[in-house]
Amino acid sequence: MTPPSPSQALGGSLLAAAAVAAALVPSFAGDYVVGNLGFRMLEYAALAQAWNLLAGYGGLVALGSGAFIGIGMYGTAKLTLGAGFPLIPALLVGGALAALFALIVSPALFRLRGLYFVIATLVLAEALQIWMFNWNGLGGSDGLFMTNAAPSPSERYYLALAIVAATTLLLAIILRTRLGISLRAIRDNEDAAAQMGLWTFRTKLWAFMIMAFVMGVIGGLQADYLGKIEPGGAFSLQWTVDIVTIAIIGGMGTLWGPLVGSLFVIWLGERLANHPETHVAITGAILILVIRFAPYGIWGLLIRLKDEASGRRRRSRLA
């Protein structure tokens, strides 16, 4: 079964249209929708898109998102506070630190395959959190306060939009190049891929570092938005849970899935904000239904409906 996708040209213009539509939102929506709801949707879209590269296309399910987001948060916070970096360079360096961390842990992680890899990434984020709680170098369990001026709602909205657009564009390019082919080959059969001359370690490392970079950048943006960071939130497992939920509900292994998923899941959370238990229960039920009946998520369902509709049209025209 191949992932559903509209034709390339259609896909490209649809993505461009979506980007333009998203860019127009601040011109009519209020501060809350732009600076909070929309901002969160974009943040999660970028995070889920980055995770999608490794899990959806490379078949490597990493549950340690908190580690990279947390490193981006602390990196950006420290750079803007202490070193007086402007925000955008600080975000990029924060992302680079997360990618560097990915590089350092990769020799150990990539020795492991399948479930062992999954568990190791999970443990990694948890261990980092515990360490940050107990090490006073970066504020310990109190964390850090950001004293610099926070960007306006529309500023951070556009920053997040730029990151989503850049990540999605990067994925679209990667998927058409050799890195995309090698990632999918590793997902389908890592041993056979090695026998074809592919140094699988390097391919996995590239994807892993790209994911870590994007997560680090988003972490930095989030730190700037919050104004205060502490290990409990920064390295939280909740990041991973939300990212995985969004990617699966939206559609793993598709370019649109994480975008659609983030829109839907965050919107649902907003509607049910006053009923947290109901929210969790409904999200869980949707997750189960999607996994059982829609392997490519909401996006896959939309494509299937569209195909069936056009198939019906074609048939009725023939008849």
Partner 1 sequence: MSAAAPAASPGALLEAVGLSKHFGGVLAVDSVDLELRAGETLGVIGPNGAGKSTLIGLLSGALKPTAGDVFVDGRRVTGLPPHRLARLGVARTYQIPQPFARMSVLDNLMLGRLYGAREGFLKARRECLEIIDRTGLAEFADVPAGSLGLLRLKRLELARAVALRPRILLLDEIGAGLVESELLELIELITVLRREVESVLIVEHVIDLIRACSDRVLVLDWGKKLIEGDPDEVLRDEKVTAVYLGTGTRQDLRRKAAGAAKRDAQPLVSVRGVAARYGTFKALHDVTFDVYPGEIVTLLGANGAGKTTTARVLSGMIPASAGEVRFRDERIDGRKPHEIVRLGIAHCMEGRRIFTDLSAEENLLLGGRTAPSAEERRRRLADVNELFPILHEKRNDSGGSLSGGQQQMLAIGRALMADPTFVIFDEISLGLAPIAVDALYEAIAALHERGVSMLLIEQNVERGLALADRAYVLEKGVVALSGAPAEIRSDPRLRALYVGEAKGDT
Q: Which residues bind partner 1 (CB under 8 A)?
A: 1-3, 177-178, 181-182, 184-185, 187-189, 191-200
Supply angle C-alpha 8, 243, 57, rounded to 5.
40
Q: Which is nearer to partner 1, 71 or 109 (CB)?
A: 109
CB 130 within 8 A of CB 251: no
Closest approach of Cβ 184 to partner 1, in Å?
5
Closest approach of Cβ 291 to partner 1, in Å?
17
Closest approach of Cβ 197 to partner 1, in Å?
3
DSSP state, residue 6: -
CB 51 within 8 A of CB 243: yes
Closest approach of Cβ 65 to partner 1, in Å?
25
143: left (phi over 0), alpha (psi -120 to 50) or beta: left
Q: Which is nearer to partner 1, 203 or 222 (CB)?
A: 203
Q: Which is nearer to partner 1, 189 or 278 (CB)?
A: 189
Q: State how far the Cα of 124 lies from the Cα of 105, in Å rounded to an integer.
A: 9
User: Which residues are 229's β-sheet partners?
Assistant: 144
Closest approach of Cβ 234 to partner 1, in Å?
36
Q: Which is nearer to partner 1, 187 or 279 (CB)?
A: 187
Q: Which is nearer to partner 1, 130 or 192 (CB)?
A: 192
Q: Which is nearer to partner 1, 83 or 192 (CB)?
A: 192
CB 299 within 8 A of CB 250: yes
Closest approach of Cβ 204 to partner 1, in Å?
13
Q: State how far the Cα of 230 lies from the Cα of 302, in Å rounded to an integer.
A: 40
Q: Which is nearer to partner 1, 115 or 149 (CB)?
A: 115
Closest approach of Cβ 201 to partner 1, in Å?
9
CA end-to-end distance (rounded Å), the chain = 29
Query: In the chain, which residue ranges form alpha helices assigned H by DSSP?
Result: 8-24, 31-32, 39-52, 65-81, 87-109, 114-134, 153-176, 178-188, 190-195, 200-226, 231-234, 237-250, 257-271, 276-293, 297-318
Q: Which is nearer to partner 1, 185 or 286 (CB)?
A: 185
Closest approach of Cβ 56 to partner 1, in Å?
11
59: left (phi over 0), alpha (psi -120 to 50) or beta: left
